[in-house]
Amino acid sequence: MSVPTQAIFANAMLVLPGEVIRGGLRIEGGVIAEITQGGAVPKGAQDCEGRFLCPGLIELHTDNLERHMRPRPGVDWPHGPAILAHDRELAGAGITTVFDAMRVGSISSDGGARRYTKYARAMADEVLAMRRAGALKIRHHIHLRAEICSETLIEELGEFGPADQVGILSLMDHTPGQRQFRDVQKFEDYVCGKNNLPREGFADYIAFLYGLQERLGARHEAEAVAGAARLGATLASHDDTTAGQVAHSADLGVSIAEFPTTVEAAHACHAAGIATIMGAPNLVRGGSHSGNVAALELAQLGRLDILSSDYVPAALLQGALQLSDIWGNMAAGIATVTRNPAAHVGLTDRGAIALGQAADLVLFGRLDGAPMVHEVWSQGRRVS
């Protein structure tokens, strides 16, 4: 799509790295060409009327695409419309870069309702084709969620290569009794509630998962780590709970920890130089839906580096503003959804309002503390 040759934004509260100032921007060819200070509105400029102007938000882990693919248990929505709806929803929330999370690793031998099948390769093909065709409003990247407790991880992971430009590969182990689901009853409640499954015979399913983990877990983890290196992807852990698990993650080369479940794990991540991602819905709701550590507690301890919208796209900016209020520093709060995620996945061309950076921008106000997104630009082109 064509990019405007020039646009000028004036009289905005610019959220810069480290500070917020009143000023304006000139963009040319999709990048920031000039930053000015003051509230003057030159002829031909857009008057932002004192609203905040921050970098486009960067989302590293979202299940939102899966939600559009399967809006109800047993309902498979056509993939093309699902991708487009997901893309437009994120743009409207101020997200201009997304790493679409796709599971690799399925269970097919359990012939009952608890089996789940592969989909990542086909979904990635459609996302990448739409990206090449210029059909998407924002920039989409691939995040592979490698399910360790599965049967087909190695086969599915082998379907991806360097040409797919996979950005993140996360190690997911949802074996009950540890990590996110230390409480097996909570695991049963979550799985049965999410998928509308009967509880009769669920103990047999748990035993089946334990057997999978014991038989394939170590091999799957090793293959997933090797796969991240082969694909050139950032390696992430998921749901670290103990200092020992964090130490193991560090030994594997993990640089991002998604949703550590305890203060102990968050402290260990900080000591190991591993960035911590927490869910914005956890922060907005005031706690974890799984009974794990609250994002607020980690924020207050200085152990929260990056926010993810997880399953509510609109929560990303809302959570960043809550952090801004908690820390008394809007630049620091906004950095958790812009500059920090960009830095930890090697995106050097975006994430900050600075000369030469992509003109990914969000113009927003606040209503009773909550964000009101007015306009969104991706590479100098308005997308919402």
242-274 residue pLDDT tens: 999 999 999 999 999 999 999 999 999 999 999
The pLDDT tens digits of the residues spanning 358-372 come to: 999 999 999 998 999
Nearest-angstrom CA–CA distance, 76 and 116: 13
Nearest-angstrom CA–CA distance, 262 and 242: 7
CA atoms within a 13 Å half-sphere pointing along the CA-CB vector of 31: 8
Secondary element (H or E) of residue 171: strand 166-172
For helices 184-195 and 202-231, the axis angle rounded to 10 degrees is 90
Secondary structure letter of residue 358 according to DSSP:
B
**Of 232, 260, 221, which Cα lies nearest the Cα of 141?**
232
Nearest-angstrom CA–CA distance, 316 and 106: 29
Nearest-angstrom CA–CA distance, 384 and 379: 13
Pairing of strands 52-55, 306-308: unpaired
Helix (H, G, I), strand (E, B) or coil at 146: strand
**Of 274, 245, 281, which Cα lies nearest the Cα of 261?**
245
Residues pairing with 279 in the sheet: 308
Whole-Å CA distances, 281 to 137, 244, 347, 353: 24, 27, 25, 26
Secondary structure letter of residue 181 according to DSSP:
G
Residues 6+ apart with CB under 8 A from 368: none
Taking the CA atoms of residue 340, residue 294, residue 259 and residue 335 in that order, the dihedral angle to the nearest 10 degrees is -10
String of b and e for 53-67 (b: at least 16 CB within 10 Å)?
Answer: bbbbbbbbbbbbbbb
Residues pairing with 372 in the sheet: 365
Pairing of strands 19-28, 6-16: antiparallel
Phi/psi of residue 16, nearest 5 degrees:
-95, 170
Residue type at 361 in one-letter notation: L
Q: Along the 384 residues of the chain, how does pLDDT read in single tens digits?
A: 455 568 999 999 999 999 999 999 999 999 999 999 999 999 999 999 999 999 999 999 998 998 898 888 778 899 999 999 999 999 999 999 999 999 999 887 755 545 568 889 999 999 999 999 999 999 999 999 999 888 899 999 999 999 999 999 999 986 665 556 666 566 656 655 555 556 666 667 777 777 777 788 889 999 999 999 999 999 999 999 999 999 999 999 999 999 999 999 999 999 999 999 999 999 999 988 667 899 999 999 999 999 999 999 999 999 999 999 999 999 999 999 999 999 999 999 999 999 999 999 999 999 998 999 999 999 999 999
- Domains plus CATH for the chain? 1-55+350-384 (2.30.40.10), 57-349 (3.20.20.140)
